[in-house]
Structure 1
Amino acid sequence: MRTLMRKGTPLLWIVLLAAIVLSCSTPPRDQANQQSIQSVTPRPAKPVIVILIDSLMDEPLRKAMQQGRAPALKHLYDNGRYFPQMVSSFPTMSVTIDSTFLTGTYTDQHHVPGLVWYSDKEKRMIFYGNGPKEALKINQPQVVMDAVYHLNQVQLNKRTKTIHEELAEQGKQSASINAIVFRGKTNHILRVPPVAKGTSLPEHIKVTGPSLLSYAAFAQLDPKNNRNAQVWKKYGLNNTFTAQDLAFLIRDKKLPALTIAYFPENDMTVHKKGPAEEAGIIKADQALQEVLNTYGSWDQAVKQAVWIVMGDSGQTTVLDDRQEAKIDLRPLLQPYRIAKLSEPVSKEDQVVIMPNERMAYIYAIDSNVALPALVKQLQQEDKLDIIARKAGQDILVTAGNTTQTFSYRPGGKYIDEYGQTWHLTGNPELLDLDLKSKRIQYGKYPDVLARLYGAMHSHEGRYVVITVKPGYELVGESSPTHIGGAAHGSLHEKDSLVPLLVSGTDTRPKTLRIVDLRDWLLQLTR
């Protein structure tokens, strides 16, 4: 989910923030972008173009292609290779997935835990955005700075290089179009919109990105793309804006070694109408058609570039019965004093709840609150399929309505399908693991050991990680819900498996995991 902030006064400010982390009115041309565009020189290797379609899933994609409603994607499919089940990161929320995609690491290394989380170091809740009810209670300028600046420049671990940084060190250029995580080595200046005047926000925000950075109304590559960055078009957070900036680079023969282009609109459609909905895919295909048409023919497009189309997370149907589908964590954690969204976290607070749709971080910020006690409280809810905490060097796992446990840590005699070794004790059925001759086969939670381990070591603090069974969604104070639609966030395969379509190369990544795409993309640019 990429909907990032939805609050402000007046109403225009709310609409503005709903469009992107904080979309803004048309900025001046980014000088770094313009210089980079002018300096791009022809390269011997074919340029690599990654089209990331938010919440793209296998079944609706196949159906749309079979019915002739997604001809551009079908053309790439017919002239390439298709992998229906690539494993995402965890939590299955866009900021975390994008960070994994760009760095080739899980959360224990890139340090972006989720869309919302609590920083024990700063003693505050961090929101990269969420629902409108939450937005009315939180500090909007702080959210803007977290989403636009701190996410990329501070909270994304500087010791984990992004693919943009790696290419820059190799003397190669790259581009990011509408992606939320974009850190690179080129300086850019983003302009905060006039509607934000009177707040604590600066007029300009300095960031580092790839040599070519397009970021909705913040920055654009095509000077004529203003029309797609207006308020009624979500200030640029739309497929058309992305397609036009990408087509601009192709038409002017300015494609760098790697371009990452994000098509955002499918996510909201799936959230509202459910995982079988095809309308968002059809709309993304229409934008992709405009891009392919830039080459004169679609056959030429496939010959002249490497095309990679991928999803980021799946989504799981949420029951249409609000009382049944919504799991409010606050009653489960009584009588602990739970921090409120509308107030700074205080010394009197004992617990912080940070739900990411179908997963949540539960923080024990009072030293007198023991994690085992929190786990015992949470076990009262039988719809929780995974409840995990750290226990020394181990990750200790249980579930709702059970006394059984399972613990694990890296290293040991068991090896999984990705070559990762683990020490295991307890009941492996809690994570749906099949163990035979010291081999681990994953079930409904793909790559669960590494992904959960990553989240448990993603940031400082004492916390419990929980996920919920299909059909349900976790909420705290004023959390967004998707009743009768769909949501993501968990480790379940329905949230975690996404398609990968590759055209223009006979190679493939080492494994079908988003965490392994970075190294493969670097190989393609050589």
Structure 2
Amino acid sequence: MKGNRKHSFLLVLGLSLLIVSCKANHREELHLQSTATSSKPVIMILIDSLMDKPLREAIQKGSVPALQYLMAHGHYYPQMVSSFPTMSVTIDSTLLTGTYADQHHVPGLVWYSGKENRMIFYGNGPKETLKIDQPQVLVDAVYQLNHVQLNKQIKTIHEELAEKGKQSASINGLVFRGKTEHTLKVPPLLANTTSLPQQWKVTGPAMLSYAAFAQLDPANSKNAQLWDKYGMNNLFSAHDTAFLITQKKLPSVTIAYFPENDMAVHKKGVSQLKGIEKADQALQVVLNAYGSWDQAIKKAVWIVMGDSAQSAVLDDRQVATVDLRTLLNRYRIARLNQPVGTNEQIVISANERMAYIYVNDDKVPLSDVVKRLQNEGKLDLIAINDGKNVQVTAGKNNRTLTYRPGGEDKDEYGQTWTISGDPSLADITITNHRIKYGKYPDVLARLYGAMHSHEGRYVVVTIQPGYELVTESSPTHVGGGAHGSLHELDSLVPFLIVGTDTRPKTMRIVDVKDWIMQVVNE
């Protein structure tokens, strides 16, 4: 029995690194026929942490022939604005719903739910995994994320396509909610040695694939071994996508996630090219499924994009990391491995380069917490919601910016705001009521989204490039790369379109969903 518990623990630890585990009903997926007959199918390849500069360097080096070919035949936009926090689950939720976090309600990779009085983890590194309820991480990532926490009042692209009689596919995507029922089966060893159920009933797109636990191609198990992160890898995603092409089962929209570049950038830094080169090798598998690359771009609309960028973290741990517990040590701070009790005044949820700081003691004013945080000069933006406005300040800074939606000031995206105080805090200039953003793209809407993403009294804080925010057992990326913040270094990603001359109404991920719906209906 002791050996079984150890085996189960290792399995859960491995699966938690994948974020999610599931096994779909293959029979109902593989017999589906493509409905993309009136227009070309859309194939989106989402390369985690893809960035413009290393992509251009790889092209110049000649080591990414597939990406180079697509760029030569399409339209390339190097500065697509991500959502906030710049963490995958929030970005994916924005991509699939066309809304920011105030509407889709997925605040970050780590956050605290006042309704459930517990921390929500979708998988945030092995140190935290060792201290928390590991099966609950899988429940949150597989079921809760898609069917409880993602706002049911907001439709995903999979749901909207289904309502229009069109099919779609999600391959290794973290957010996949749709209209087709699937049975997600927990591996027997895991189900038998933990509190996890044997299966979940979920809804997803017509074709749902997720690593070793939900493959479309029966032969793809070779890419879903333990040493290949159970299928949470580029080649698994590529082969399942290629399978839909070769079997002529490609739906109207296919969203395939290539995860490995993110890990490479975290570890090796923002200048490394190996992650992009591996993504290109997988992309070649997909393009080759058409027989020739010329046929591939003739028969489909291709989108290749990043989700968030990363900024370099200094290689001196003491300098590069700011421990929020030290700044807030006058308060009673909740521990990671214990339930949040009535005595805990502060709960900290660190998302690499941003954090939510929850103030659960009504006797502690948010302004007092802000003052404590302002003692650290590395803190970039510090924000609270006063019930009517978002108030922003910064470390070692007594100036404030206050704003709310609606008003006379209009930004480049057509959004209007009422702004008072010092807009330069957020690198904003206003001339004749026209707002111009600087190093924090679309900062007003993105920050507003996070400030209204879920219940509770909390402070949102970000840190300057070069640094990371940490708390108990937070993962760090010293000498590598990290993201999470509003800064352009974390927020701007490349966006490549081949097969159509149209483009989203703005270069923001939040506007991609509506544009894809238009492309499908052309």
Match of 1:211 among 202, 206, 209: 206
Match of 1:74 among 68, 74, 77: 68
Tell me by how many angstroms 1:19 deviates.
4.0
- Partner SS state of residue 510, structure 1: coil
Q: Is 1:326 aligned to residue 321 of structure 2?
A: yes
Match of 2:133 among 135, 139, 143: 139
Partner of 1:282: 277
Q: How high is the TM-score relative to the length of structure 2?
A: 0.97
8 Å CA contact 1:16–1:22 kept in 2: the answer is no
Partner of 2:48: 54
Partner of 2:434: 439
Q: Is 1:466 aligned to residue 461 of structure 2?
A: yes
8 Å CA contact 1:90–1:451 kept in 2: the answer is yes
Distance 1:22 1:169 in 2: 27
Match of 1:16 among 9, 14, 17: 14
1:360-415, CA deviations, whole angstroms, 9 ceiling, x for partnerless residues? Answer: 00000111111011101111111001000011310000000111111000011100
Which deviates more from structure 2 when the two are superposed, residues 300-309 or residues 41-50? 41-50
Map 1:386-425 to 2 at 5 A.
386-425=381-420
8 Å CA contact 2:17–2:123 kept in 1: the answer is no
Partner of 2:503: 508
8 Å CA contact 2:24–2:183 kept in 1: the answer is no
Q: Is 1:161 aligned to residue 150 of structure 2?
A: no
Distance 1:485 1:21 in 2: 21
Distance 2:25 2:512 in 1: 31
Tell me by how many angstroms 1:478 deviates.
0.5
Distance 2:391 2:408 in 1: 18
Give the unaligned 5+ runs of structure 2.
none
- Partner SS state of residue 212, structure 2: coil
Summarize the Cα distance change of 1:236–1:412 in structure 2 as closer, same or farther, 3 Å threshold: same
Tell me by how many angstroms 1:517 deviates.
0.2
8 Å CA contact 1:8–1:140 kept in 2: the answer is no
8 Å CA contact 2:50–2:493 kept in 1: the answer is yes
Q: Is 1:99 aligned to residue 111 of structure 2?
A: no
Tell me by how many angstroms 1:34 deviates.
2.8
Partner of 1:3: none
Which deviates more from structure 2 when the two are superposed, residues 218-227 or residues 489-498? 218-227
8 Å CA contact 1:81–1:502 kept in 2: the answer is yes
Map 1:115-514 to 2 at 5 A.
115-196=109-190, 197-514=192-509
Distance 1:402 1:9 in 2: 51
Summarize the Cα distance change of 1:457–1:9 in structure 2 as closer, same or farther, 3 Å threshold: farther
Tell me by how many angstroms 1:525 deviates.
0.6
8 Å CA contact 1:360–1:467 kept in 2: the answer is yes
Q: Is 1:86 aligned to residue 86 of structure 2?
A: no
- Report how many aligned residue pairs link the two structures: 516
8 Å CA contact 2:13–2:126 kept in 1: the answer is no
Tell me by how many angstroms 1:8 deviates.
7.7
- Partner SS state of residue 136, structure 1: helix
- Partner SS state of residue 15, structure 2: helix
Tell me by how many angstroms 1:12 deviates.
2.8
8 Å CA contact 2:17–2:126 kept in 1: the answer is no
Distance 1:467 1:111 in 2: 19
8 Å CA contact 1:81–1:501 kept in 2: the answer is yes
Please tell me the residue identity of whatever aligns with 1:327: V
Distance 2:12 2:479 in 1: 25
- Partner SS state of residue 117, structure 1: strand
- Partner SS state of residue 17, structure 1: helix
Match of 1:30 among 5, 26, 29: 26
Distance 2:223 2:440 in 1: 39
1:167-222, CA deviations, whole angstroms, 9 ceiling, x for partnerless residues? Answer: 00000000000000010000011111133122100111211100000011221111
1:1-35, CA deviations, whole angstroms, 9 ceiling, x for partnerless residues? Answer: xxxxxx986553255224412447xx574333234
Distance 1:346 1:114 in 2: 22
Could you say what the CA RMSD is over the residues aligned between the two structures, in angstroms?
1.3
8 Å CA contact 2:12–2:135 kept in 1: the answer is no
Distance 1:355 1:98 in 2: 19
Q: How high is the TM-score relative to the length of structure 1?
A: 0.96
Summarize the Cα distance change of 1:22–1:164 in structure 2 as closer, same or farther, 3 Å threshold: closer
Give the unaligned 5+ runs of structure 1.
1-6
1:50-77, CA deviations, whole angstroms, 9 ceiling, x for partnerless residues? Answer: 0000000000001111211000011110
Tell me by how many angstroms 1:350 deviates.
0.6
